[in-house]
Amino acid sequence: MITLYDIRSTRSPTDPRSGYSPFSWRVRFTLRIKGLPYKHHWIEYPDIEGVAKSVGADPTAENPDGSSRYTVPFIHDSTTNKVVSNSFDIVDYLDSTYPDTIKMIPEETRLLQSVFADSVVTLQRYIFPVVANTMVNRTPSLLTPRSLEAMRSRGSVLELTDEQKKEAWAKLKDGMGDFAKLMNNEGPFVMGKKVCMADAALFGTFAALRWLWDETTNEWKDMMSWHGGRWSRLMEAFEGLPEVEKYSEAEGNLKIYGVAMV
Ligand SMILES: N[C@@H](CCC(=O)N[C@@H](CS)C(=O)NCC(=O)O)C(=O)O
């Protein structure tokens, strides 16, 4: 069984919108496309490094002071006893370990998939200040008290004017629009009917935004109408797939945060 380590919030783990890491959503998308069952292990934001080290997950980057940076997602696969971190490497691992499942990174497209996934991160960066601002200031909080405290103390949450927020949304929309134009198909995937890692990256961005601006919000309704409804078709393609996720390890946590749950 595969265990996916991810950051928890006060949304119930059984809520389909639960989970705010766009990178974890890439892996969740992939596992569901592949039909591979897995257990979701939710941890708190300040515990990422400790838990990663305890299971032997490698760091994925460096902090500005040169120390190792540990991030979610990382997985443990009890069948092979392997631990893998970094979303692209996890998807690559799943492709090679489970060759009878849909391949997300066809060998000859490896570089293209990687460069595309990184370019999606550039779009995420446009909207990140608005996300950080909204997630920290929202009442009732979607973040657990410890995660909220950790995010605040990092000092990366800036106050933004309405104008700056509007600009960030416009940049995200324009960037997605450039992709939509170049794809020149109806979707639901980048390559039309054939799914690949690039879709996991796009899906991850929207799924993480849906955590914050759920289906009831104007932001979400607006996004789903962008570019001829292309992104809503991607979301529907995912929702139409059978569930493969188990929430057993989250039940304990659910009780702890039961009161704060929204
Ligand atoms: N390159 C990594 C990036 C993962 C990443 O940045 N994850 C964020 C959550 S969205 C994280 O764990 N951040 C921890 C931190 O900033 O300390 C991947 O693709 O998995």
pLDDT in tens, 93-112: 999 999 999 999 999 999 99
Q: Which residues of 62-74 are buried (b: 16+ CB within 10 A; e: fewer)?
A: eeeeeeeebbbbb
Residue 262 maps to a domain: no
pTM: 0.94
Residue 142 maps to a domain: yes
Residue 90 maps to a domain: yes
Q: Which of 49, 62, 72, 116 to mutate to test ligand 1, by most ligand atoms within 8 A of the CB atom?
A: 72
Closest among 201, 203, 194, 198 to 230, alpha carbons compared: 203
Residue 172 maps to a domain: yes
Residues 42 and 114 in one domain: no
Distance CA 206, CA 63 (A): 26
Nearest atom, ligand 1, residue 73 CA: 20
Distance CA 37, CA 142 (A): 27
Residues 228 and 113 in one domain: yes
Number of domains in the chain: 2
Residues 120 and 223 in one domain: yes
Residues 80 and 186 in one domain: no
Q: Ligand 1 centroid vs 186 CA: distance in angstroms? A: 31
Q: Give the confidence band of 154 by pLDDT, cuts at 50, 70, 90.
A: confident
Stretch 199-221: mean pLDDT: 97
Pocket of ligand 1 contains residue 38 by CB under 6 Å: no
Residues 86 and 127 in one domain: no
Distance CA 174, CA 15 (A): 30
Residue 261 maps to a domain: no
- Note down the domain range covering 34: 2-103+242-256
Q: Kindly state the helix (H) or strand (E) to which residue 32 belongs, with its residue range.
A: helix 22-34
Q: Ligand 1 centroid vs 185 CA: distance in angstroms? A: 31
pLDDT at 262 over 60: no
User: What dihedral angle (degrees, nearest 10) is formed by the CA atoms of 102, 16, 168, 136?
Assistant: -130
What is the pLDDT, as a whole number, of residue 251? 40
Residues 185 and 65 in one domain: no
- Residue 134: strand, helix, or coil: helix
The side-by-side arrangement of strands in the sheet containing 245-246 is: 82-85, 74-77, 2-7, 38-43, 245-246
Residues 173 and 151 in one domain: yes
Nearest CA to ligand 1 atom 19: 87
Pocket of ligand 1 contains residue 87 by CB under 6 Å: yes
DSSP label of 217: S
Residues 58 and 138 in one domain: no
Closest among 23, 24, 79, 70 to 51, alpha carbons compared: 70
Amino acid at 241: L
Residues 89 and 48 in one domain: yes
Nearest CA to ligand 1 atom 15: 71
What is the pLDDT, as a whole number, of residue 158? 81
